[in-house]
Every structure is written in structure tokens, then in C-alpha cells.
């Protein structure tokens, strides 16, 4: 998937802000990993930016394009990661403008992905 050119600093800030509001077990788990540069880079590149791309471009893609890109996004989420990303799908903060006018069924598809594609 060709990633949307969303400013990485704004994305990192949104993630850091969300991390502060996570419930205790998720907060510690995510904060420990987020402080490690390789994890942070991987999380941004493989989980957060593709999600932003699906939100930004998903409004104008055909159903086939959206479903194809969603299926090609082959990642598994830990519980804490899903909790960090969920508000982005639901329209929190900076991301809210991109998420606006996204068809409801596509929002639900993204939320399902966060809920169902989990590490065991």
C-alpha cells in the first residue's frame, strides 16, 4: 500500500497523548515498548501509518480498492495497540478531519480488524 504522507510527528503526538489515557495494564505494556526505538518505528510503519492511509484514502476508494487494501494489511495487534489505535478510527483529535465522511461500514471494517486480528 502506498502510504499517505501524514506528518509522522503529529501521529506520534496523537499516540503519546492516547497512551496517557490507557487503563493501567495497557498503559505500562505500551509505554515500555513505545520507549524502544525499533518497536516505535515498526508500530508507526506497519500499524499506525497504514491505518491513517486507510482512513485518508478510504473515503474515495471503490469498495474493491478498500477491501483489497484492508486485506493486504497483514498485521496482528496486541490488546494495548488496538486500544491506542481505536480512537483514530473513531475520529479523535487531528485524525478527525480525515475520518469525516468515511462510510460507516468502512469504519466498522477497520474496528473489526483491530478487534479480530490479534496476537494469541
Q: How far apart are CA 19 and CA 28, in angstroms?
A: 9
Query: Under a CB-based contact definition with an 8 Å cutoff, are residues 21 and 69 in contact?
Result: no
pLDDT tens figures, 68-116: 999 999 999 999 999 999 988 887 654 555 556 788 889 899 999 999 9
pLDDT digits (tens, 9 = 90+) for 22-73: 999 999 999 999 999 999 999 999 999 999 889 888 888 999 999 999 999 9
Per domain, the residue ranges of the chain are 8-116
- pTM value is 0.85
Question: How far apart, in whole angstroms, are the C-alpha atoms of residue 81 and residue 77?
Answer: 6
Amino acid at each position: 500500500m502506498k502510504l499517505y504522507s501524514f506528518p509522522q510527528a503529529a501521529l506520534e503526538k496523537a499516540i503519546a497523548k492516547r497512551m496517557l489515557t490507557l487503563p493501567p495494564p495497557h498503559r505500562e505494556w505500551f509505554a515500555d515498548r513505545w520507549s524502544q526505538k525499533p518497536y516505535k518505528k515498526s508500530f508507526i510503519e506497519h500499524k499506525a501509518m497504514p491505518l491513517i492511509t486507510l482512513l485518508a484514502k478510504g473515503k474515495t476508494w471503490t469498495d474493491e480498492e478498500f477491501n483489497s487494501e484492508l486485506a493486504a494489511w497483514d498485521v496482528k495487534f496486541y490488546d494495548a495497540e488496538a486500544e491506542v489505535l481505536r480512537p483514530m478510527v473513531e475520529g479523535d483529535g487531528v485524525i478527525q478531519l480525515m475520518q469525516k465522511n468515511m462510510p460507516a461500514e468502512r469504519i466498522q471494517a477497520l474496528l473489526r480488524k483491530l478487534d479480530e486480528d490479534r496476537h494469541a
